[in-house]
Amino acid sequence: MKLGMLTACLPHWSLERIATFAASTGFERLEVAAWPRVGGREFEASHLPVATFTDEDAAATVSVLERTGLGISALAYYENNLHHDLERREGIHAHLRHVVDTAAVLGVPYVGTFIGRDNTLSVKDNMALGDRMLPALVDYAGERGVKLIIENCVMEGWHPDGYPGNLAYSPELWEWVTGLGFGLNWDPSHLTWIGIDPLETILPFAKHIVHAQAKDVELFPAKRNRYGFFGKVDKGDDPWDMGWWRFRVPGRGQIDWARIVDRLYEGGFEGTLSVEHEDPLWGGTDDKVTEGLRIAHHTLRPLIARS
């Protein structure tokens, strides 16, 4: 198991600057953000120009990795692959293929994305849509030696009423997702707030969990008693403000990381545990973000055996 970090929390830094920080902090791997641009929504970043990736870009990236001693565990483009707008959906698929192409050039084994959801359809109808639309993406990646992996983020902000906007939020749906040929980029924080014990999901899906994200969560049950499970009705300008929970860096929330890492080892996990920093208390400035990453490293490093 290796300890890594997702670069999206530092959207305005260059990949070289992030790599220098990550190596000096003690991280071993980077999960590199590869959205088309910075600022589509919070926590999107573009640290590799995948749509126009050249031999010179590849050489520069390899040089950064060699200098810092880091590896790339996965490229990250978490978007709605079942978007109801057909033009938007095709644009997402086109960019995802660019990300896959870049991963193949760099020898990166995984590209992370979302299933997504067409909000005009039921879950069952979305699954039927996915059966028609998604295998071509899996095949495109596989033909290039890359595996698409799905994060189990709920993406409640994509739905007008706070319902799941990414149909990979439960083990029931993982059976469908993995049946389509996707791997799992497993994240315990999302499971925790929707009432699923993350520890109990590891062994049943151990062969499919090829990458994992380390994000914590803090729950406020008294506030849930006011808003209900689906969160505030009036979220103002922030569709992600559920009102009764918030993401935290590992070590500042409710997840028992010692037991999680131990169970991952029990399941034979040999991939990267990648810190995904979305903690509002350790956000807002570069100094706070980097300190949040140091807190996460301090929490997780003692739990992972050094190779």
Summarised one tens digit per residue, pLDDT across range 77-124 is: 999 999 999 999 999 999 999 999 999 999 999 999 999 999 999 999
Helix/strand/coil for 112: strand
Q: Among residues 303, 273, 272, 277, which one has the least CA distance to residue 288?
A: 277
Split into its structural domains, the chain has a count of 1
Helix/strand/coil for 6: strand
User: CA–CA separation, 147 vs 182, rounded Å?
Assistant: 7
Range of the domain at 82: 2-303
**Whether residue 307 has pLDDT greater than 90:** no
Q: Tens digits of per-residue pLDDT, 64-79?
A: 999 999 999 999 999 9
Q: Is the dihedral of CA 116, 118, 121, 125 positive or negative?
A: negative
Q: Tens digits of per-residue pLDDT, 188-222?
A: 999 999 999 999 999 999 999 999 999 999 999 99
What residues pair up with 251 in beta bridges, in sequence order?
Answer: none
Q: Is the dihedral of CA 81, 57, 8, 200 positive or negative?
A: positive
Q: What is the DSSP letter of 271?
A: S
Q: What is the mean pLDDT of residues 152-161?
A: 93
Q: What is the mean pLDDT of residues 130-154?
A: 98
**Whether residue 1 has pLDDT greater than 70:** yes
pLDDT number for residue 179? 98
What residues pair up with 216 in beta bridges, in sequence order?
Answer: 248
Other beta carbons within 10 Å of 196: 16
Tokens for 82, please give them: 């079942």
pLDDT number for residue 37? 79
**Whether residue 42 has pLDDT greater than 90:** no
> Where is average pLDDT lowest: 41-55, 161-175, 286-300?
41-55
pLDDT number for residue 6? 98
What is the residue-averaged pLDDT of the chain? Answer: 96
pLDDT number for residue 8? 97
Q: Residue 39: which pLDDT band, with cuts at 50, 70 and 90? A: low
pLDDT number for residue 306? 82
pLDDT number for residue 293? 98
Cα–Cα distances (Å) from 179 to 35, 65, 114, 140, in that order, read 26, 34, 15, 16
Q: Residue 43: which pLDDT band, with cuts at 50, 70 and 90? A: confident
**Whether residue 279 has pLDDT greater than 70:** yes
Contacting residues for 141 by C-beta, under 8 A, at least 6 apart: 100, 111, 147, 148
CATH code where residue 69 lies: 3.20.20.150
pLDDT number for residue 237? 87
Q: What is the mean pLDDT of residues 168-185?
A: 98
pLDDT number for residue 41? 66
Tokens for 162, please give them: 């706070």
